[in-house]
A and B are shown apart, each in its own frame.
Chain A
Amino acid sequence: MLQLSNFNMKFIYSIIITFCLFNGLAQAPGYMGKRFSAGYGFYASPGFVGSHGLTKVNILHEGFIEFAAKKNFSVGGSIRYYNARYSNDRYVKISNFDLPIDNSGYNYQQLDDNPSGITNIKGLTYTLYGKFFKKKYLAPWGRYFLLGVTLNTYVASYDSDQMYVPFEKSNGNYNEPRKNFYFTDFGPTQQSFNKIDVMIGNGRSRIIGNRIILDYGYNINLWAATTAIFDLNDEPNNGFNTSEYISGVSKVRVRAVNRFNVFIKVGVLLF
């Protein structure tokens, strides 16, 4: 994913509104004259490829709004929410500079390669997308190809009481007891990130009772998909630096959540 700093969300919303207004002038039949729809979407993806999640399935919840702008095209915006926990199973590289200076002659010995505990990631994915319906179908009904841009905003947090790397300190004297030390400083306990990606997909929407939309299909985030092969072995040679551990690990996991999803959406044709 590309880093998106200082991204102005107002800009995204203004694009959506302008697009809707512009296309509102175009003539589109919609479904029985109805062109606006809104609803809920349920996304899921397998939680075992490059994610190291504690669950087998990643689950996302979405709220969406769509507008049939043209005969074979509808534009939509959505917000997807997910909350995932991941085990800290990546190697962390803790240098002497990261450790407190001990003048008593004790030396640090790292007992574990990776931190204990979990990292919690809460994400919101803002998506602006277009649905390109196949020739004989009509937005918002039928088979379509999906193309959009996504903005992944997420907060990765950890509990310093739970997330640590145990050390043992000894001064070389076997008669002296060893001391335990726990390294817990992986940067701020809550870290926010924004990433953008390009989303494609395929789907099909059905209309039930002239009112309810049932939409199902799959989507792929292209950048996330492209990096999939690298994410399988995402550790730097000597592990992550302590300050980059959360950002480095979480971005891989966020990509894993968004890489490929199947979805089913239920919506209502509004007007």
Chain B
Amino acid sequence: MLFISCISYSQQNLKQNYTPLKSSGTLPDIFTQNIRNVIKDDITELNKQKEEDRGIKSNYLTAANYEIEKIVKSGNTLINDEVTTYLNELAGVILKNNPTLKNQLHIYTLKSPVVNAYSYDKGYIFIDIGLIAQAETEAQLAYILSHEISHYVKKHNINGYVKNTKIDKKNYSGKTSEDKLIEKCQYSKEYESEADIEGFKLLEQTNYDFKQAEKAFDVLQYAHLPFELVEFQKTYFNNSNYKIPDSYFLKEVSSIRNNSAEDDTKHTHPNTAKRKQAIAELISKRNNSGRVNYIIGKEKFDYIRDLSRMELCRLYLKNRDYMNAFYAAYILEKKYPQNEYVAEIMSKCMYALTLYSRGDLRYDGDSYLENGIPSYSDIESYPQQLYYLANKMPTNEWTILSMNYVYRNHKKFPNNVMINAYSDSLFKIMGNTNWEIFDFVRTNKRPDTTIVKTEVAVAKTDSGISKTDLIATIQKENNFKSYDTAYYKEIYVDLFMNDKEFTSKFPLAGIKSENSSSGFTTYTTGSSNKIYTTSKPKKDKKVKYQEIKVEKVILLDPFYLKINEKKEEEVRYVDSDTKQEKFVVTVNECAQKQNFEIVNLDPSLITSGQVDKVNDYSIMNDWFSEKFDATSNSKNPILNTNDINTLIKKYATQYVLKTGIVNYKSKRGRKATYYYAFVYDLVNNEMVYKKQEIFRGKDTKDLVNAKVYQTLFELKRLKKKI
């Protein structure tokens, strides 16, 4: 902690750009300590104290230690970064009179868009980026931190575990599982209320404004809304030649619902109204004069919050929450109009929504976007306009809009590789349609529809006209109608007139794009005459194979899990950890026997000085997070991990091996072992090797050895379909 406090950072210039938050400095002890020894010591200590429910508590200590280790080493936990350092500084302010308690705490920032904070045993407190982004003042954040510290001081986590376990074990004859849930929630609410009060008492020892404690609950109440309520301007995408029709916007957005007094019977936390009331009662008995919103400083708080908000955009993108990402960036753009990162985020969102609406991005059941862009009717307040626009605007019009937006951002930040890539990719999409320069340059004068209508009227009344002639006339009329709605026709006029790059990149009629140089989705050639459609590639009946010969892989976080339903503690944490260690050794041994190179990117092998590996691991996890959310076999572009190319160069391989074993023993004593190994090609964004097998029986050493050896053996002789 002393070391952390000594780290000084040069602040980022958010007016120009933002560099994603990364861990730095020396890694904490949790990275180097042996978790099994820690658990052993904890349980020995527990037994010495001769407390009640030692069996349950012993299980808790095992599970909690692993849980904490898992979170800290997940790659989503920021260590010694600016935000985490600030949170520790804030804890120092809160506990200035209790340095012993302060030294017991391990406070970290979690890279998560969720608005929440978590307190664990042993003083581990995790604050989500989403929460920091929403906080309005330093005092609010201080109160939330105080609340979490109180959970730790009051040992709510371990006591809650004991109570929940007892409830689970209770004989509930005639009662449903819902009754159990309600009872558990009741305990949980009591703990939350206690933490609210105790947190307030901690706040009392500082000079923070008490009112901010009450307001902190409002922040939580409206966490589903953007971090600032900024109206979405209908003219945002407009320019002198382009105006989105009003029909694409709502006349009035929905109001914000107030559900602060909702039924909290089945909630782990009391409803906001109750919590606010309890705090308000305390405030009414205190003198609040002279208390302040900022002790460390407003400027510092604003900066840290803006860092979090910048990071939040990335996290939304990672979750494919393009609408929220865009809106968050939209708000930030108001404050930082020249920020390149913000422009990149917005360009990514526009590009992703284009692909998504065209069906070129697909996600499976775990994804936010499984069922399409969320309906605008569920959205409250100003963001509803954006959702409405995205829902109402047809795909082709969105593509035109998107290309216009991204290209202009490219012109604004010509050196931004990613924006340039998205822009190029959008040109290729245009190239696979029947749009041509002519369609956008010519100013189509609206035909005199009265003449057409007269013709049609005549045609319809003239009994001598043929059926086909009549159809042709009606079609002609319809074509003219489409001109009426072509509000976007002149969107690129200024670019065609003044921008040579745009003109040269804009596809000529009938020329279809070949492979994308940007590494994104390839748009194949076709000869379809249908308007505004991309054609499908012709199927080649002959399957050809190409030898890959993978000889070096990044071994990403090998996984081992043992589950035994016969035991009270079903997840065998200690056994799993022991086996995992051996598994890593096995993989490396098998690799050595075959002259196969392995680069271990495994948090359990990271030493205190290897913070760069933690960051690499985090980047890799981000990449896989998006990859795994895609439907199987799809080559969805990975939009949110810019640094992956750096890692490919750094480790001199484009292949990543994810492998693991799950051993399961059922209540009846049946045993099964699941082995998996997947190899991904980061450059080509595809899975090149897949092995999933289930064996009846134990996870014997020969099974593990044989399968791992086989995997590496096959990788060296790998062939893929081309």
Give the B-binding residues of A (Cβ under 8 A): 27, 29, 31-33, 71, 136-138, 141-142, 206-208, 210
Cβ–Cβ contact B705 & A210, under 8 A: yes
Chain A residues with CB under 8 A of B706: 29, 31-32, 137-138, 141-142, 207
* Assembled-state Cα–Cα distance A208/B695 (Å): 18
Q: Are B710 and A33 in contact (CB under 8 A)?
A: no
Contact A138 B717 (CB under 8 A): no
Output the nearest chain B residue to A71 by Cβ-Cβ distance: B710
Residues of A within 8 A of B263 (CB): none
5 further interface pairs, Cβ-Cβ under 8 Å (given A31-B706, A71-B710, A136-B693) = A29-B706, A31-B702, A32-B590, A32-B593, A138-B706
What residues of chain A lie closer than 8 Å to B717, measured between beta carbons? 27
What would be 21 A-B contacts, judged by CB atoms less than 8 Å apart? Answer: A27-B713, A27-B717, A29-B706, A29-B710, A29-B714, A31-B709, A32-B590, A32-B705, A32-B706, A33-B594, A33-B709, A71-B710, A136-B693, A138-B706, A138-B707, A141-B702, A142-B706, A207-B701, A207-B705, A210-B702, A210-B705
Q: Is B700 an interface residue (CB 8 A)?
A: yes
Minimum CB distance partner of A209 in chain B: B701
Question: Which residues in A have their C-beta under 8 angstroms from that of B713?
Answer: 27, 29
Contact flags B611-655 to A (C-beta < 8 A → 1, else 0): 000000000000000000000000000000000000000000000
Are the CB atoms of B702 and A208 closer together than 8 Å? yes
Contacting pair B702 A207 (CB below 8 A):
yes
Residues 701-722 of B, flagged 1 when their CB comes within 8 A of A and 0 if not, give 1110111011001100100000
B285 to nearest A CB, angstroms?
70
By a CB distance below 8 angstroms, the chain A residues around B693 are 136
How far does the Cβ of A24 sit from chain B's closest Cβ, in whole Å? 16
> In the assembled complex, how far is the CB of residue B507 from the closest CB belonging to chain A, in whole angstroms?
47
Q: Which residues on A sit within 8 Å (CB–CB) of B705?
A: 31-32, 207, 210
Top 9 A-B pairs ranked by shortest CB distance? A207-B702, A29-B713, A136-B693, A141-B706, A29-B710, A138-B706, A32-B709, A33-B593, A138-B710
Give residues 663-709 of B contacting A (CB, 8 Å).
Answer: 693, 695, 700-703, 705-707, 709
Q: How far is the CA of A258 from the CA of B594 in the complex (A)?
A: 42
Q: Which size class do B's interface residues fall under?
A: 10 to 19
User: A-B pairs with CB below 8 Å: how many?
Assistant: 40
What is the CB-to-nearest-CB distance from B549 to chain A, in angstroms, rounded to a whole number?
13
B705: nearest chain-A partner, CB-CB: A32
- Using a CB-CB cutoff of 8 Å, which residues 141-178 of chain B contact chain A? none
Chain A residues near B709 (CB-CB < 8 A): 29, 31-33
Chain A hits for B594, CB < 8 A: 33
A206 touches B700 (CB 8 A): yes
Kindly state the separation between the CA atoms of A207 and B702 in the bound complex, as whole angstroms: 6
Instruction: Return chain A residues, CB-CB under 8 Å to B714.
Output: 29
Task: List chain B residues, Cβ under 8 A from A141.
Answer: 702-703, 706
Q: Which residues of chain B come closer than 8 Å to A31, judged between CB atoms?
A: 702, 705-706, 709
How distant is the Cα of A207 from the Cα of B707 in the complex, in angstroms?
Answer: 13
Distance of A215 Cα from B703 Cα, bound (Å): 14
Chain B residue at minimal CB-CB distance from A208 = B702
Instruction: Determine the distance from Cα of A71 to Cα of B706 in the docked complex, in whole angstroms.
Output: 11
Cβ of B689 to closest chain A Cβ, rounded Å: 14
Nearest B residue (CB) for A210 = B705
Of all chain B residues, which has the CB nearest A140? B706
Which B-chain residue is minimally distant from A135 (CB atoms)? B693
Q: How far is the CA of A29 from the CA of B590 in the complex (A)?
A: 11
**A172 CA / B139 CA spacing, docked (Å):** 134
Q: Contact at B593–A136, with CB atoms within 8 Å?
A: no
Q: How far is the CA of A210 from the CA of B717 in the complex (A)?
A: 23
- Per the bound structure, the CA–CA distance linking A157 and B707 in Å amounts to 51
The residue in chain A whose Cβ has the minimal distance to the Cβ of B593 is: A33
- Shortest beta-carbon distance, A216 to chain B, in Å? 14
How far is A208 from B706 in the complex, measured between Cα atoms in Å?
A: 12
> Closest residue of chain B to A27, judged by CB?
B717
CB distance from A28 to the nearest CB of B (A): 9
> Nearest Cβ distance between residue B370 and chain A, in whole angstroms?
32
**A193 to B709 alpha-carbon distance, docked (Å):** 46
B583 to chain A, nearest CB (A): 15
Residue of B whose beta carbon sits closest to that of A141: B706
User: Is B710's CB under 8 angstroms from A206's CB?
Assistant: no
**A92–B702 alpha-carbon span in the complex (Å):** 56
Q: How far apart sit A207 and B704, CA to CA, in the bound complex (Å)?
A: 11
Which of A29, A141, A206 has the most chain B CB atoms closer than 10 A to its own CB?
A29
> Residue of B at shortest CB range from A33?
B593
**What separation, in Å, do the CA atoms of A136 and B673 have in the docked complex?**
12
Bound together, the chains give a CA A51 to CA B435 distance in angstroms of 89
CB-defined contacts of A29 to chain B, threshold 8 Å: 706, 709-710, 713-714
Closest residue of A by beta carbon distance from B713: A29
Counting chain B CB atoms within 10 Å of each CB, the highest count among A27, A136, A142 belongs to A136
B548-588 at interface with A (beta carbon < 8 Å): none
Taken together as a complex, chains A and B put the C-alpha atoms of A242 and B514 apart, in Å, by: 90
Alpha-carbon separation in the docked complex, A270 to B168 (Å)? 55
Contact A136 B700 (CB under 8 A): no
User: B695, A136: Cβ atoms under 8 Å?
Assistant: yes
Residues of B within 8 A of A142 (CB): 706
Name which residue of chain B comes closest to A207, CB basis: B702
Residues of B within 8 A of A136 (CB): 693, 695
